[in-house]
Structure 1
Amino acid sequence: MTALYNVVQYILNLGATVILPIAIFIIALVFRVSISKAFRSAITIGIGFVGINLVIGLLTDNLGPAAHAMVTNFGLKLTILDTGWPSAAAASWATPVAAVLIPLCLLLNIVLLFLKVTKTLDIDIWNYWHFIAAGATGYIVTGGNWWFAILCAFIYEIIVLIIADRAAPYTQKFYGLEGITCPTGSTAACSLIGVPVGWLISKIPGINKLKADPESIQKRFGIFGEPMIIGLFIGIIIGLLGGYDLGRAFKLGVALGGVMFLMPRMVKILMEGLIPISDSVRDYVSKKYHGREINLGLDAALTIGHPANIATGLILVPITLFMAVIIPGNQVLPFGDLATIPFYVSFIVASRKGNIIHSVLAGMVVMALALLMATNFGPVHTEMMRGVYDFPKGVTQVSSLDMGGNILNWAILKFSQAFQALF
């Protein structure tokens, strides 16, 4: 088991820019794509993810300090620190069940495809950490019950794959991702609440007439409605809320404008490599299985390049901090996961066809509930993090919006606690 764990950790440490091209190359060969075409596409996809990661790094490196500055500027005093998804992922990979769950979750996906329970082939191995986090939750709460941990991971994975199937039609149309869907755990979980709430908001008289998608904004405001200019203004406002002087606020604005300008171009590079493989897989499956459809499951990073998505996510950053202060019962100090809010709203924005007003309102409901769930998850999350995370001075409890504030993980937590109480 130790040897298996070490092998898995070595592969995972290579990162998505290595794992994904290898997975794509193997899958392409399985579906009878020529070696040269498969290799070129795989490398192009890897380069695309390098570009996406660089832009995401630009976002987090600039937005993280700004969020911390807002926390300091407003003197927020909350007892549970949001340490962000990277620490939650590291803690999940470090649990004893992680090495076993990766091949088991992949095998389950293949079985579900064969049984026609899902149309999604999830090749985003790195993001299997969401499934493993569910398994780790069950493992910790039950005192090390392996079988129950595997059950929790399987339940989480099945629900995510079904959500990805249901979201595929409108996300493919909105983001232009033909043959692709996004079974990213946090994205799928947030859509469980956000998509129906967004639909309800769109039916409220008065609010239903409010439309603010990037196209209509640009048409109305000209250059000031362009995505990079919107990013500039949002960045300046966040900087000023954080107590930055005008120069630093403008610098933050330029960085966020850069994110909104560059991200679609990085996604375009990735899609240049992905579309030939996706088309080949669909053609092969359609011919061999009489028109059956299969979608490739990839990271929701593919969606955050859309101006409506990232604008919604950035607007929700200061709103989430404000809600953290005023919501009764919340003890989570949002920090580490603020920069990943665009991932949470991906399906919500697509379901609202890019209407930023409706998406922000739905996102507020999602983030409010995430804060309360993350607060409730604090004790178990803290136990999971011991030994893999250096707690900052004065911090006794940690959580994360991505894992602790995720309704699927929270449901797994309650399921595990009920199981432990009964048995």
Structure 2
Amino acid sequence: SLSIPIGIGVNLLLLFLGLTKTLMVDMWNFWHAAFVASLVYAVTQDFSLGLYATVTYLVMIYLLGDIIAPAIKKFYGFPNITFPHGTSAPGFLVAIPLNWLFDRIPGFNKIEADPETIQKRFGIFGESTVLGLIIGIIMGLLAGYELKEVLQLGVKMSAVMVLMPRMVSLLMEGLTPISEAANDFVQRRFPGREVNIGMDSALSVGHPAVLSASLLLVPITILLAVILPGNQTLPFGDLATIPFVVCLMAAVFRGNIVRTVVGGTIYMASILYVTSWAAPLVTKAAQSANFDLGGNTSVTAMAEGGLWPTWLFIFAGNHMPWVILTLVLLASLAGLYYVNKVRKS
């Protein structure tokens, strides 16, 4: 619960100092900072260090929010919106070197697989609704469903491809007045300043490229869990978070579904290993909070527990925590200063 007032306080301080353009209104997702802090506490048994990890994580996530805002505006068409979301923002930095690599692979760099290109090349079979139908049928067949259930899953997936973008557009209509009011508020108190509203990345999951890639990544992730040597994670409920994991990767890949699936596969493989490594700490944190494990001896979380920031903070907790967390905090502050002061000038 402390993560909410700490998150608001850190955000307002950085806004006052002109070190961020992100105004976080998505209070629910402060849980990401609380989760990472709980793992640091599980390692160190030092409550003050857990609070310090909360502050450090939040400063880092506001930096990511400032960095990704232009890509969100360009790809999704959301002006003055950013996603300082602990599940989505880290994938943006993973996708940048992967995109650089993909651009240099002969043949692979010529593949154009964004939804618009697919629709032009394949006609009706490139329509998002038909793609959803095909993907749903394939998933049903792989799952061993009966014919009736296979066809029902295909129709449901097709409906998702139609309804999700429309639902997101309605949400954006509702958010526009909030964004405008927040900008007016900032302009009155800080003339000439620009602000981006920090929202949940659920706004992006209705994009056809994100939906298509995410649906394909569900069976791929399950397969990876089975075949990867040393993996101890069996994905379950967190499979539903795959769209959040890859939504900003899709923005870097310019909606290329093939690149998003390949890049997402690589990223999901790393996530499975990190979740396996972090599982004892996640289980310990859950037990200390009196969480019902449902008879399981060990639990973990892909949505946050498997991402590289979690690995970084757990590593810090195990090796000179105050020193490493301070270095991360200073690096994040330096990044905010560069993005909002140096680059702006």
TM-score by length of 2: 0.89
Equivalent residue for 2:2?
100
CA distance in 2, matches of 1:161, 1:171: 15
Q: Which amino acid aligns with 2:166?
A: R
Equivalent residue for 1:148?
49
- Percent identity reads 44
CA distance in 2, matches of 1:151, 1:389: 24
Q: Can you give the 5+ residue segments of structure 2 that lack an aligned partner in the other structure?
A: 324-345
User: Does 320-329 or 376-385 show the bigger shift?
Assistant: 320-329
Equivalent residue for 1:368?
269
CA distance in 1, matches of 2:216, 2:157: 12
CA distance in 2, matches of 1:335, 1:202: 33
CA distance in 1, matches of 2:89, 2:268: 14
CA distance in 2, matches of 1:196, 1:288: 39
3-state SS of the aligned residue for 2:18? coil
Residues 152 and 283 from structure 1, CA distance in 2 versus in 1: closer, same or farther, beyond 3 angstroms? same
Aligned length: 322
Residue 325 (structure 1) aligned with residue 325 (structure 2): no
- What's the RMSD between the two structures over aligned residues? 1.8
CA distance in 2, matches of 1:388, 1:233: 43
Equivalent residue for 2:123?
222
Residue 202 (structure 1) aligned with residue 107 (structure 2): no
Cα shift readout 1:167-209 (whole Å, capped 9, x = no counterpart): 1101112111111001110101222323321332133221110
Among 97, 103, 114, the alignment partner of 2:16 is 114
Residue 254 (structure 1) aligned with residue 155 (structure 2): yes
8 Å Cα contact 1:187-1:300 kept in structure 2: yes
Residue 138 (structure 1) aligned with residue 27 (structure 2): no
1:398 Cα deviation (Å)? 1.2
Residue 285 (structure 1) aligned with residue 186 (structure 2): yes
CA distance in 2, matches of 1:379, 1:277: 41
Residue 123 (structure 1) aligned with residue 25 (structure 2): yes
8 Å Cα contact 1:198-1:361 kept in structure 2: no
CA distance in 2, matches of 1:225, 1:384: 46
3-state SS of the aligned residue for 2:255? coil
1:251 Cα deviation (Å)? 1.0
Equivalent residue for 2:328?
none
Equivalent residue for 1:264?
165
Residue 340 (structure 1) aligned with residue 241 (structure 2): yes
CA distance in 1, matches of 2:193, 2:213: 35
8 Å Cα contact 1:171-1:177 kept in structure 2: yes
8 Å Cα contact 2:95-2:253 kept in structure 1: no
1:157 Cα deviation (Å)? 1.2
CA distance in 1, matches of 2:56, 2:158: 39
3-state SS of the aligned residue for 2:149? helix
8 Å Cα contact 1:195-1:362 kept in structure 2: no
Cα shift readout 1:203-261 (whole Å, capped 9, x = no counterpart): 32211100111111111222221112211111111111111112111111211221111
1:283 Cα deviation (Å)? 4.4
3-state SS of the aligned residue for 1:166? helix
3-state SS of the aligned residue for 2:197? strand
3-state SS of the aligned residue for 2:124? helix
1:284 Cα deviation (Å)? 4.8
Residue 186 (structure 1) aligned with residue 87 (structure 2): yes
Equivalent residue for 1:58?
none
3-state SS of the aligned residue for 1:397? coil
Q: Which amino acid aligns with 1:259?
A: V
Equivalent residue for 1:239?
140
1:370 Cα deviation (Å)? 0.2
Q: Which amino acid aligns with 1:170?
A: A
CA distance in 2, matches of 1:280, 1:292: 14
Q: Which amino acid aligns with 1:140?
A: A
Residues 253 and 195 from structure 1, CA distance in 2 versus in 1: closer, same or farther, beyond 3 angstroms? farther
Q: Which amino acid aligns with 1:258?
A: A
Among 318, 330, 343, the alignment partner of 1:417 is 318
User: Does 218-227 or 339-348 show the bigger shift?
Assistant: 218-227
CA distance in 1, matches of 2:3, 2:240: 28
1:363 Cα deviation (Å)? 0.7
Among 195, 198, 202, the alignment partner of 1:301 is 202
